Structure 1
Amino acid sequence: MISRHYALTREGSSLTLRQTTKPVPELSPNQILIKVRAASLNYRDLLTMGDADATRDGLTPLSDASGVVVQIGSAVTTWTIGDRVSPNFFPAWLGGAFSPVNLSNALGGGQTDGVLSEYLVIDETAAVAIPDHLSFVEAATLPYAGVTAWHALFERGKLQPGETVLVQGTGGVALFGLQLAAAQGARVIVTSSSDAKLARAAALGAWQVINYKTQPDWDQAVMTLTDGHGADHILELGGPDTYDRSIAAIAPGGRIAQIGVLSGFGAQPNLTPLQFKNASINGICVGSVEHYERLNAFVAEHAIHPIVNEVFAFDDAPLAYERLRAAGHFGKIAISFDR
């Protein structure tokens, strides 16, 4: 069997996305073959394409996909043909404590092939079932952004109803944070430089919104909105340009989830205020299979539908990259293999 797929091909000192073909490998006893129906992009995918030194020539990119099981290995007991499934970002992190070994095996980055392929072979333990109410496109948005927001707010943050959550921006992780926290009964504050996007965030359940272009001291705005208490949880997605304000806006005993690098790497904030607030920073790098399963159970219970900004056909995958790079999207950018 031959599978169409995309590869990041080295051209001089840079990488270019090219469509090509490859044979589908034989299954080992504990593997399953997935016919991919949809995939989605993350900011990480732009970083991978832009790092020719760390990315293997010919790498199949992207980490997020959904599809149907079309073949199973001889020892597979978890899945049957026809099951709707999605692979976990870290295929070997099934549960429990994180191991740095997982970093080198993350789908679609460095040396490990990803999911932008018609067929995908994975271990049966690396897959999770898709909620019945979600389309394949919607389900394909969950593995990175959805699991990251869930890990930050629920697994590590222990989010409770009535607490205040601040999310930065209106990308995938931010909007999942908004939807999940609102479903939990939390008060969500969203920041953005676009009034139009903030209006859409309010329609999704945001308690308050802040335009950081017209209110550059957004940390002070958070304190005002919360009567001086601050945000109990902050999804820190910006990086160096936002970190000091996140620390200023965090509530006593609050938790900052260190996630994003949108303004670059190497944030060096003043951490001293955390000590006198008894607040903390949790480093969040996606999550485990168990995290993904618990996220899906919550998504199903609350009938949450991920926000998809635009869907591209498989043959138009390079255009999806360009749309992501333009940074004008609200929610996720996806690729449908059925179009």
Structure 2
Amino acid sequence: MSRSSSVSSDHIPDISDFDPEKWTIKFVNEGAANLVFEVKLPPSAPSTTGSYSKGNHDIFQGNLLRVPKAGAKTFPYPELQQYWESTITPLFPLDNLVQHQLVKLGHSPSAVVDLLNNVLIKEESGRRKDFRGTRVLPDAQYGMLIEDMRSRNPNDLFLESKPKWLSPSPSARTRCRNCAREAYRDHLDPSHHKAHRLGILCPLDFIACRDSPESLSNVLKHILPASSPPTYRPHLTNWLKTNSLLPLLQKAQSEHDPSSGVDLELAMTLRDCSLFLRISSPEGGSGEVKIEAKLADLDKKNATKKKHHWEELERNLVEGGFYDGKETPREETDCLLERGKRK
């Protein structure tokens, strides 16, 4: 995918060419604005038109299908794709980004939408309670094929985390912005147990773990499941101490500080992305362990709609003393800055 490419409808594949009635569809995940599905074609099922098919090419191979939710106040998919290509990709090597491809849902997108909604109805009981009842945008014309970073074989381990703010906010003194926000949330809801507050990973540990055994232990405890193969732990440890991706994300965040207000959408986008890690080794458990690290969830933020919320939250954190640890009653956190103050 070219860094300078622009979205042209003439070159966008139409997934309805691949006979949707024969698809095997599995619901994978969802957020407030999007739904993600796994789509599999029957064996030897090329496109019905041949327009985007070479032999038995499977457009879904290695990809997941993402579609917009009804009622979500987000930008149209073509605009999101254009933003990703023009604004996000210049900041990172392409192999550090989960790849996107814009696709059409067909001349009559309701056929694809209906199929996806039928899957949602069957999976309703297993969905998050606050997401139940939501469906695909009825008149959605576009979807996205998103690179599938999940495990490819039983030896793979897939990890997902939110790096958040890798540099302290300019307002930070005793707490970083993320930990100050967590203290504020717990202050509003006293029912949260202390274990919840101390179980939140301070994002500053992601960078500090290069030199701090305590920060390294915190990150590993947070992102590595206890059930994961112990052989992967030293490889993940080495990656955390030597990778170039997280420092690059930190640099991009620092260069686009939200307090400057120059490009608030990009500033907040960079602080709400996800880190996907796929750790794999050859079949049989022998051979070199490989770690693939990529950033995802880099959609353009709607600063017009979010600006008031962001400003109000920042004001509450400052005026309520949450950056200084002076709120009443005081909420204990495991912020790297706060730990430093206690020593």
Same fold flag (TM > 0.5): no
Whichever structure has more helix as a proportion of its residues is: 2
Whichever structure has more strand as a proportion of its residues is: 1
TM-score by length of 2: 0.28
Which structure has the bigger radius of gyration?
2
